[in-house]
Each structure stands twice: as structure tokens, then as C-alpha cells.
Structure 1
Amino acid sequence: MKEKKKINTIRKIEYKNKESFFLIIRGLEVGIVAGLVAVFYRFLLEYAEKYLNIIISTVKDSPSKIALWFIALAALGGFVAMLNKIEPMSSGSGIPQVAGEVKGVLTQNWWRVLLAKIVGGTVCVFSGLSLGREGPSVQLGGMAAKGIARATKADKTTELRMISCGAGAGMAAAFNAPLAGTMFVLEEIHHSLDKNILCMGIVSTITADYVSKLFFGQNTIFNYETVNFPLGYYWLLVLMGIVTGLCGVFYNVVMLKMQSIYKSIKKIPNYIKMPLVFVISGVVGLLLPQVLCGGHSMVALLINEHPSISMMLFLLAAKFLFGAFCFASGAPGGTLYPLCILGTYIGAVFGAVSINALGLDSSMWEEFVVIGMAGLFASIVRAPITAIILVYELTGNMNNILPLATVALISYATANLIGVQPFYETLLSNLTPSDSEKPKLFKRSEKIIKSYVIPLGSPLDGKKIKEVDWGRHSLIITVERGEESITPNGDVLLRAGDEIVFLVSQRRYAANINRLENLFATN
């Protein structure tokens, strides 16, 4: 067995330059399966929301029917609490769980997570909780890919790549945004540009997007008239970037504080707390149904009815507070789409105030709406390139790329200056067990291939290989410089732009990866 593992490791090195074809095949496999799983989940959630609206309209005028509905909600809440206890990895968004698996700090039972997430997420949307499908779709795509990897007996390097690309495929199918799905994996999960992930990822996300479009059509999620933003008013975009950056920081602080408060209430067991959350969702549904679920009805209201500034502020606050409350419970469901909705409302309020104060053309209002989405996404997730590409793909509008980039980058910089940690990174650190509690995630004998690019300004630029402490369990197997592959030895001088390929031992894998990521960090 040990000899077989050595042969597998040697084979990885020998076929490294010939693996593009296999990456494409794996990408197709992942894209088809992850796309079908995400589409199935999307169908379930659409029907769940449809029947929720029917139930609310049926019971709202009858106290006895309302009482029965609340009893049913309490039972559904108890069921979700039971699911979370049976499969804890199915709770919450799902994005930190995928990132943790790829980094080697968490492990998930792929088929149990698939079942629990699909069932739990559907129940939550049917009950009206302010949670979206996009985060769960990322986790579902990753777990579907892990299932394929296990079924085809893929090596560990390939499995981790497939999980990453499955996550991107899930996001692509949920948003109809293949490029954003790929960039999200590179920017948010890996924090680096890995050519192999890029190759497999772009194939998997495009395939998943194609699968999604077969079922849901080719329309973009947001449709609006194109308007060129006047260059003389770009100072407004700078101000808007600062505003969305501050709002993103506030969002992160409040969401995490709410989660902390919920967990601190230990005297009340979760099988009682969760039913209470579901019943409160029922009350909100009767009083303010617009803020239920992901927020599609809020977008329709915004675009079709152009509500007053005071109404937009009220809905913004209500959606945020209700969403924070639902998220804190740990119910299976995502925050990506709800935060996009919050961004549209921040942009709408900012746009309405600007138009009224400066006498701008009212047709610019919808431009502010979509730009606000990119700004808030960039500050919360700390992934500005993903934010720009995502909003472009959601709208299908190339004319707003420069305004999007301006707001997203300023918002990102504002959040970084304040110093609050990115949302999903904080969630992952909260999920990560202590060293004494960590399970043995990987087998020790098989090595994993990882590659990193030396960024401009890196301390590694200009150093010899022997001058850097790479760690005991990381071995450099090649240095890629353009089209040249350099055989590594201690005297090889490293340069910015070099791609260094490692064989990483599965012994203390998470610590090894963390060490390498810190070495190649840009700051």
C-alpha cells in the first residue's frame, strides 16, 4: 500500500504538464453534477416560496388558521434543529464549510450534508426565514463534487480541486454567473490564482451555468435600462464606496454579534430556540411578507414601484434585522443573495437622495441600485473582483463596469482600513476546532500538489530557495517561470511572477497550507 502511494505521487509529478485534458474532463463532470444538484435545489426553493405565499394569503384573515400555521412552523423548527444536531455541517451558509474542507481544517460527509442541506434549506424557505439559496448552492456543489471524487477514486489533490470547482459551479448555477463562480473560488476560498483551479473551474462553472439555463432560461436576474454614468459626477461614486464600505463593516459586526448572542443563550436548548425562530418568522410573514426568504419580492417592489425613501429605509432595516436574526439561529440557508438585496436598497436610497439634491436625471436611479449591490458585497465578503463580475453577470450590462469597479474597490479599501475581518473568514475561524479537537482529516502517506505565485513586492522576490523556511512537510518540485520549468535547488533565485509548485504532506496539512499562504501573502 505504501509503495502504491509513492507511485501515485511520482505519477502526479510526471503528468503535471499533461493534465490540462484531465482537468477539463473533471470540470465537465463536476459542472454537470453540481449544476443538476443546484438546479434541483433552486426548483425546490421556488416551489417552497410559492406555497408559502399561498399559505400566508389563506391564513392571514383567520385566527384559528394562523394558530395552526404557527404550530406547524414550530414543528418544522424542531425538525430543522434535529437536522442540525444530526449533521452540524449542514447548518448556516455552507461557504465556510467548503473553505474549511479545502484548507484541511474541516471534513464533511458529502452525502449526509447533501441530504440535510437540501431538506433543511427547503424547510427554512417554506417557513419564510430570510435566507438565500446561493450559499447552500456553493456547499451543495462542493459536496456533489466530493461525491464524484470518492466514486471515481480520485487522489486527494484532485478531490480538493473538484470540491473547490464544485463550489464555484454551485454558485454559477444559483446566480447564472459562471465567471463570478470561478473568481469567487479563487478570491474567497483560495486567496490565490491557481492555474489548475482556474482551468477546471471555468469549465465546471460554464457547464453548470449551461445546465441552469436549460431549466430556467437565459434571462439575467436583474433587467434594467442602460444609462451612462456622467463622468462629472464620479465623485458621488467615491462617496458611495465609502458609504457601502461602512455599511458592510456594520453588517459584519452586527451579524456576528447576533450569532454570538444566540449561542450564548445556553439555558434554552436549540430544540426550543429554533421553533421560536420559526414562529417569529410566521409573525413577520403576516406583518411584512416582503422581507421573507431571499428577497426576490423586495427587488420586484424596488424596480416596479419605486418606493419612497422612508419606505426603502424601513424595508432595508427590517430585512437586515430579520436576516441577522435568522442567520444567528444557524438554520440552513445563505446570506449571499440577502446581502445583495441590502446592497440594492442602500444604492437606491443613496441614488434617490443624490437625484433629489443635485437634480440628476431620474433614469440614473437604477444605476445606483445595481452599483450599491457591488459595493456592499465587496466590503462584506472582501472580494471586490467577484463583486464586479457578479453584478455585471446579474445585469448583463457592460456599460456600468467602471462605476461598479470604482465603488467596489473603494468600499473594499474602506472596510480594510477599518480592520474588521471578512465575513466568511470569521465564520470559518468560529467553526474551526482547536488543535486538540481536530480530527485526522487526511491519510498521511499520499502527498497533495499545491502551487503559489510570488506577487510583486513579496519578500520572497530576490531570495534563494535555501534562504526561505518552507516548513518540514512542504517540498518544492518545480519553479515555473513563464514557459520554463526550473528544477529546484537551494541556489535558484526566486522572482516575482514565479509559480512555485509544492508537494505537501498530509501530516499537519492545515498548518502547512496556512504557512505557505502567509509566505505568499501580498501584505
Structure 2
Amino acid sequence: MKSKAEQAIERISEIRYPLILQGCCIGVLTGIVVSFFRRILIAAESLRDSVLREAAGGAAESAGTSGVPGMQSPGTAMMQHPRMAVLLLIVLAGCFLGTWLCVRLVPLCAGSGIPQVAGELKGRVFQPWWKVIPAKIIGGTLAIGAGLSLGREGPSIQLGAMVGKGFSSLIDRLATEEKLLMTCGAAAGLSCAFSAPLAGAVFALEGLHKNFSTDVLLGSMAASIASDFVAFYVFGLTPVFDLSIRQALPLSLYWTLAVLGVLLGFFGMIYGKCIAFTQDLYDLIPSKAGRLAVPFLLLIPLGLWYPMAMGGGYRLVTQVADEKFVLSALALLLMMKFCYSILSFSAGAPGGIFMPLLVIGGIAGGLYFTAVTQILDIPQYYIDNFVIYGMVGYFAGIVRSPVTGVILITEMVGDFTNFLALSVVALIAYITADLLGSVPIYQQLLERMLRKDPDCGMTDQLRRNKVLLESDVYISSIMDGRRLKEMKLPRGCLVVSVLRGPEELVPGGDTELKGGDRLTVLCNQGRMDEADRILKKMCRTERIR
């Protein structure tokens, strides 16, 4: 009988077309799960909006928690109807209790879910998919539906990855194949959450694997497209942000994009530091219930007097683009949304920061445009452009996946005329955040999670599972022109294949590597992260001559 290592090497060489087929299956399943999640969230948020409108005494047309200006404060109406206030407090307490139970029983359902997926792909985390899926759906619905400033996109990525893992378990795949199927599921989850199939596939490469692989790309694309078909069937073809962008920004105004990119990169660095600082403060509270109670209690004053800061804030973007806020109101909205999003996420509730940070970026872009128009004579219809520039720049500065950001915003808006401008802002924001020493937010969150719990569900048996890693040898990298034995991989790791163009070499210690080679490394799952760091340093870092 062949060992698992031999099976892994044999199967990975023939995995491309089976992975595409399996990716399609995972995409459909993920589309069903995530569409269900989206549906119940829409229902919960619609109910919350209706309750706040009712509490406001049937004020003039408004969007409830979306915060269309002009909605009267529900505070006075609540004081006049104490029974309604008591009922809402009971519902809020129920949402808090349900969220706390989910986090207590399944700790890995807390937070965004993207760090957990990235950790499992690195061999550092084990998630029981049969527990995470229901806990994430229930906990996320209660937390986001209650009004916490969280998004559904991170949870959708985790749900998709867990669907992929469950599918892998049912068809009895090996550890390497399981990780590929999890990646397909994660891509499908993002695709269904945003109706953005290309962004889902690119995120799988740029945000999770951080290394180009044709197999991962094809499998992720198949899963993303299949998932998007389901989303189109359920939600239709309307873009997530239905903005009326009239034309591209003229080149004469591109200097304003450079300034905006620098500001957003700096703002993104501040966001990461605020998340870390707030999490440190929350750690002073000994119980999970106490930490979760903070954002839930803040819902009371926010719901009564400033409901615009509640929820994911999807419709805030279009309202800013429709010029429904003056400069001072935009500044207040930005501050409130920024603070409450950080307080909601840092408490550990099941929900993501993907959408809140896009909304904050959109508000920042609108604020920047409104301030610039006080000085320059720029047509007002360009505010739509600057809203999406703010979104992509803030995303690139925090998540540090600029290509994903540009493609995601383009697909979400359904307009390609601003592709160049989006790329400029994303690049400048990325460089600014990098020069300021900012750590990508999901890497920061994963490192913090592993510091608090180094095992994260991993056992010695799981660590001994054999997996395959792939890495390109970059031209001018340290290993370009050097012998394989100079790489010094961790003990128990073995290079089993060197692909040079169409030719596959049988590697030995004296094999000389060349730029463009593709290595396949066999190692224990527990050594994956360490081996990948060495591969990145030796094969994907340019040599200083």
C-alpha cells in the first residue's frame, strides 16, 4: 500500500482537471450556503430598519440604519412608548446571548474568519467545519442583524472554506488536496458575497496563497463562477453599489489621486494600530461575555440618536455619492463609523471588516472630494469617482491586496472606465502603508490569534500529515544559480520536483536552480509555515548584489 506522501505526490501531478470539476461542485454548494446567509441577513437588517422607522414615529422617507439624513431620532418616540423600548431591549439581549453562546461553544467562529482560513492553509489552525458553519451563520446573523458594524464578506469566505473542507472530507481527500479545495471554497464565498467572481479568484492567490499557481487559479475561478451563478439566480444582476459614474477622471486631476492615496495609506495604518490597541483594551475584560457586551450596549444610544453608524453600511456609500451630506456631517459620519466598526470587530463578534472598511473608505473619499471642491472648481458629478477611489485606496492600505481591491471595486460598481485611476490610488496607498511599517490586517489578526492560542485545534497527528508546497524561483532571487542543498529547508522537508518549463527534473542536492523554476516541496503540515518562510526568503526575495 502506498504511503500518504507517495499518494500526495502522485495525485498532485494529475489534480488540475479534477480540481476544476470539484471547484464547480464546491462553488454551487458555497453559493447556496452564502446566499442563504445573505438572505437572512437582508431580512434581519430590513426588520431592524423597519423597527427604527416605526420608533421614529413614521418619519419622512428614510433608510433606517442606513442613515439617510432627515430621519428623526427614535429617542423621543421610545421615551413616549416604554413598552416598545422594553421589547427592543429584550430582543437585543437575546441577540447578545445567542452571539455569546456561538462564540463560547465554537471559538473559531469569532471575528472575520479570514485569519482562521489563512492559518489553516499554513498548517497552524484546525477548524471543525461541521461546527463552524452553523455557528458562523447563527452568530453572524444575530450580531450583524442586531446592528453591530460588521460585514458578511469575511464570514462568507470562512463559510466557503468550510464547505470546501467538508466536501474534501466526504470524498476522502488528502491534506494537500483539502487545502486546495478550501481555497476554492474561500474564493467562491467572496464571489457570492460581492457578486464578484474574478475578485474571488484573485483574492485566493493574492490574499491567501500569496503565490501564483495555475492549479489554484483554475480551481478558484471555476468555484467563483459557479458560486456567482447561484448568486445571480438569487439576487439578480444589479451591482452591489449602484453608482451612476458618468465619466473617467481627466488626467489633469490625477495629482489629486496621489494626495488621496497617501492620505488613505496613512489612514489605513492608523486603522490597523487602532484595532490592535482596542483588542488590547478588551483583553483587560476577563470574559468573552463582558467584551461582547460593550458594542451591544452601545447599540442603545446609537439606535436612538445616530443609527447611521449601525450595521454594515451598504447604502451609506450611495448616499454619500448622492451628495446627501455636507462637509461637517461627512466628518462626523466618518468618525462615528470608524470608531464603532473598530469597537464592534475588536470585541470578537462573528462578523468581518471587509464591508465596513470599504464603507469607511467611501466616506473618506467623499469627504476628501467635498473638501477639495471648496478650493478647486471640479464638477460635482465626480464625487461618485472619488467615493470608489476612497474604497479601493483604504482597502489596499489595510488589507494590502491592491490587485484584489481594484478588481473587486470594478466588479462591484460594474464600471471599467476608472480602472486606471483605481490602480493609481491602490498602488500609492499600498506603498504609503508599507513605508509606514503597517502590517497587513489579516496577518496581524492571525499572529495575534496564534499568540493567544498556539495550538488552535491542531494535534500532533494533524501536524504529521504530509502536504505539498509549491514555490517559484524568482529571477535574481537568492537561489537563482545556486545548488539546491544551499537552501537549508527545515528538517523533514524534501524538494520532490523541479519543473523547468515543460521539463520535470529529479532533484538532488547538487541540482542548480534557475530563475523561473517551480519547486514542489514535501513536508509535515506542522512545518508548512516555517518551510514557506524559508522558500519566500530564498526563492522569492531578490538578491542584493
Q: Give the C-alpha shift of residue 12 in structure 1.
A: 3.7
Bigger mean CA offset, 242-251 vs 277-286: 277-286
What does residue 255 of structure 1 align with?
275
How many angstroms does 1:435 deviate by?
8.8
Alignment of 1:108 with 2:127, yes or no, is: yes
| Structure 2 counterparts to residues 505-520 of structure 1, below 5 A | 505-520=524-539
Give unmatched runs, 5+ long, in structure 2: 56-73
Report the counterpart of residue 353 of structure 1 in structure 2. Answer: 371
Give the Cα separation in 1 of the matches to 2:463 and 2:353: 36
Whether the 8 Å CA contact 2:152–2:351 is kept in 1: the answer is yes
**Cα distance in 1, alignment partners of residues 180 and 460 from structure 2:** 16
Q: Which one of 117, 133, 150 corresponds to residue 152 of structure 2?
A: 133
Query: How far apart are residue 360 of structure 1 and its match?
Result: 1.7
Q: Aligned pair in 2 of structure 1 residues 351, 217: CA closer, same or farther (>3 Å)?
A: same
Partners of 1:491 and 1:509 lie apart in 2 by 24
- Whether the 8 Å CA contact 2:124–2:455 is kept in 1: the answer is no
1:479–1:486 contact (8 Å) kept in structure 2: yes
Q: CA distance change for structure 1 residues 68 and 16 in 2, over 3 Å: closer, same or farther?
A: closer
Helix, strand or coil: the match of 1:508?
helix
Query: For the structure 1 residues 51 and 106, does the alpha-carbon distance in structure 2 shift closer, same or farther, using more than 3 Å as the test?
Result: same
What is the one-letter code of the residue matched to 1:26?
Q
Percent identical residues: 34
Please report how far the alpha carbon of residue 94 of structure 1 lies from its aligned counterpart in structure 2 after TM superposition. Answer: 0.6
Instruction: Give the match for residue 253 of structure 2.
Output: 233
Task: Tell me, yes or no, if the aligned pair for 2:490 and 2:527 is still in contact at 8 Å.
Answer: no
Q: What is the CA distance between 1:255 and its match in structure 2?
A: 1.7
Whether 1:324 aligns to 2:324 is no
Q: For residues 92-115 of structure 1, give each alpha carbon's deviation from its aligned partner in whole angstroms, at most 9, with x where no partner exists.
A: 111101111111111111011111
Q: Distance in 1 between matches of 2:15 and 2:105?
A: 39
Of 258, 270, 284, the residue aligned with 2:302 is 284
Deviation at 1:441, TM superposition (A): 6.0
Matched, 1:486 2:505: yes
Task: State the shift of 1:449 in Å.
Answer: 1.7
CA pair 244-154 structure 1, distance change in 2 beyond 3 A: same
Tell me what 1:297 maps to: 315
Question: 1:442-476, CA deviations, whole angstroms, 9 ceiling, x for partnerless residues?
Answer: 54665212111122331111111122212222211
Asked if 1:189 corresponds to 2:205, the answer is no
Kept in 1: contact 2:8–2:176 (CA 8 A)? no
| Aligned mates of 1:26, 1:55 — CA distance in 2 | 43
> Between Structure 1 and Structure 2, how many residues are aligned?
517
Give the TM-score of the pair, scaled to structure 2: 0.91
Equivalent residue runs for 1:11-50 within 5 Å: 11-50=7-46
- After the TM superposition, which parts of structure 1 deviate over 6 Å for at least 4 consecutive aligned residues? none
Alpha-carbon offset, residue 489 of structure 1: 2.1
Amino acid corresponding to residue 541 of structure 2 in structure 1: T
Q: Which residue in the other structure is 1:171 paired with?
A: 190
1:468 maps to: 487
Residue 70 of structure 2 is matched in structure 1 by: none
Matched residue of 1:358: which SS? coil
TM-score, normalization by structure 1 = 0.94
Distance 2:294 2:93 in 1: 7
Contact 1:107 1:441 in 2 (8 A): no
Moved more, 379-388 or 351-360: 351-360
| Equivalence for 1:62 | 78
CA contact (8 A) 1:74 1:275 kept: no
Q: Distance in 2 between matches of 1:493 and 1:434?
A: 42
1:83 and 2:102 correspond = yes
* Cα distance, 1:437–1:172 mapped onto 2, change above 3 Å: closer
Indicate the SS of the match to 2:522. Answer: strand
Kept in 2: contact 1:291–1:298 (CA 8 A): no
Residues 263-412 of structure 1 correspond to what in structure 2 (within 5 A)? 263-266=283-286, 269-412=287-430
Aligned residue in 1 for 2:61: none
The structure 2 residue matched to 1:120, chosen from 118, 129, 139, is: 139
CA RMSD of aligned residues (A): 1.9
Q: Which residue of 1 aligns with 2:173?
A: 154
**Residue type of the alignment partner of 2:253:** Y
1:501 counterpart (498, 520, 524) = 520
CA distance, structure 2, for counterparts of residue 121 and residue 11 of structure 1: 39
Q: Is the CA contact (8 Å cut-off) linking 1:222 and 1:395 kept in structure 2?
A: yes
Over 3 Å counting, the alpha-carbon distance change for 1:456 and 1:237 in structure 2 is farther
Which amino acid in 2 is paired with 1:245? G
AA matched with 1:30: I
**Deviations 1:137-192 (CA, angstroms, capped at 9, x unpaired):** 01011111111111111111110111112111101100111111111121121111
Moved more, 447-456 or 9-18: 9-18
Residue 41 of structure 1: how far off its partner (Å): 0.5
Letter aligned with residue 283 of structure 2: K
Distance 1:437 1:132, change over 3 A: closer
